[in-house]
Amino acid sequence: MSKLTGAEIVVECLKEQGVDTVFGYPGGAILNIYDALYQHQNEITHILTSHEQGASHAADGYARATGKVGVCLATSGPGATNLVTGIATACMDSIPVVAITCNVTNNLLGKDSFQEIDITGVTMPITKYNFIVKDVKRLATVIRRAFTIAQSGRPGPVLVDITKDVTAALCEYERQVPEAIVPQSDTIREEDMDRAVEMIRKARKPFIFAGGGAVLANASEELRAFANKIQAPVADSLMGKGAFDGAHELYTGMVGMHGTKTSNFGITEADLLIVVGARFSDRVTGNASKFARNAKILQLDIDPAEINKNIKVDASIIGDVKIILRKLNARLDPANHDEWIAHIERMKDMYPLRYDKNTLTGPFIVQTINEVTQGDAIIVTEVGQHQMWAAQYYQFRRPRTLLTSGGLGTMGYGLGAASEQRWAAGTRRLST
């Protein structure tokens, strides 16, 4: 066991967690950590951004593309507050990010000192958890907990604020193996499973709606097997893009105000709507009282707070959706809904997405990019009309290939998220 400075302990804890890339912008309070990071530049790559908000978006994009925790660094005061928009973006879309900030020394806290801010107070509503570390003996434990919290259950951002004197203080450090992140299954109740199986077996017009939770749970294989087994069409939300193959014959497109007529009419006509990791955003439901009005609704989600929050459901299963789908697939027999699928196919023919092909348009450009890449690209968007064109006209074949701000709708997200070019070796990257 050796004695290290707090700054060195931060870097060693990042190495413990398998962090290979961090994003940030230096400043006075965090210089000790930057000095320690410099000594390990062959193990951890630092991407210098032009603004701390860009660092938070880059960490978010890294997390979405890789499935790992994104890490960003900022100094005290305005450096820390510049992370706020990126942290809120990650919070709204349930992205695992650890933001590390440094504050003034302990003796200057609470005195309106130069570049002092209560960043834990500022970010409390937009983080899954946050910490301020005033004792170097707590530092390693807090950083390890931050990574565990960011990845466990429903993912989200965690902030760790460290006083500058803690980064300089000496403390014994002993390397630890990171805590294993176990998918949440203890909340999956047998009675809920029985109810779900009964509802699915009785359905004649089942429809699947996949959200971002299916991507975060790495449940694409299970979702595909589930859709094929119960022979149900599949629509997605903006955050659910790539959870189900956009070129699959059962896929109907996005749902909601920017969705396809087939998806929206299909959900209206369905007698059972199975919602996999989606939160019923207002952009999806429109008038909540009329959403899926002919269907019973079965919601699968890791977060019990999402059940009956925006839309009242008839049944639910709480837990990791990958495990839930795997259990359902094991209990269900293949179903035949040929007549329902034929009806959906007729709607696809009747209501295709259309645009003027005699002039250069956004949809034409996005569709051409899709044809050139054959869906083998990471697409990064800003927010607005082009974001919707990307969602509508690009066929996302795999999960983690759309990096976009869904819940918060953050202008400026795309430039930050696209700034790091080492996400997935061998995968083509494009930014719209």
Q: Are residues 283 and 164 located together in one domain of the fold?
A: no
> pLDDT 10s per residue in the chain (432 long)?
789 999 999 999 999 999 999 999 999 999 999 999 999 999 999 999 999 999 999 999 999 999 999 999 999 999 999 999 999 999 999 999 999 999 999 999 999 999 999 999 999 999 999 999 999 999 999 999 999 999 999 999 999 999 999 999 999 999 999 999 999 999 999 999 999 999 999 999 999 999 999 999 999 999 999 999 999 999 999 999 999 999 999 999 999 999 999 999 999 999 999 999 999 999 999 999 999 999 999 999 999 999 999 999 999 999 999 999 999 999 999 999 999 999 999 999 999 999 998 899 999 999 999 999 998 899 999 999 999 999 999 999 999 999 999 999 999 999 999 975 544 333 334 444
Q: Are residues 344 and 368 located together in one domain of the fold?
A: no
Q: Are residues 161 and 238 located together in one domain of the fold?
A: no
Express the helix, strand and coil content of the chain in percent, nearest 5 each: 40, 20, 40
In-domain check, residue 356: no
C-alpha atoms less than 13 angstroms from C-alpha of 294 in its C-beta half-sphere: 13
Q: Are residues 17 and 155 located together in one domain of the fold?
A: yes
Q: Are residues 346 and 367 located together in one domain of the fold?
A: no
18: helix, coil or strand?
coil
Q: In angstroms, rounded to a whole number, what is the distance separating the alpha carbons of residues 81 and 248?
A: 43
In-domain check, residue 181: no
For residue 123, what is the domain's CATH number?
3.40.50.970
Picking from 7, 24, 5, the residue whose alpha carbon sits closest to that of residue 416 is 24
Look at the chain and report how many structural domains it folds into: 3
Burial of 58 (0-12, 13-18, 19+ CB in 10 A): buried
Domain final residue pick, 317, 350, 383:
350
Q: Are residues 55 and 168 located together in one domain of the fold?
A: yes
- Residue 430 near residue 369 (C-beta atoms within 8 A): yes
Domain final residue pick, 350, 372, 389:
350
Domain final residue pick, 173, 199, 231:
173
- Residue 145 near residue 152 (C-beta atoms within 8 A): no
For residue 221, what is the domain's CATH number?
3.40.50.1220
Query: Can you give the residue range of the structural domain that contains 35?
Result: 2-173
In-domain check, residue 184: no
Q: Which residues contact 341 (CB under 8 A, 6 or more apart)?
A: 231, 233, 250
Q: Are residues 257 and 379 located together in one domain of the fold?
A: no
Q: In angstroms, rounded to a whole number, what is the distance separating the alpha carbons of residues 404 and 385?
A: 13
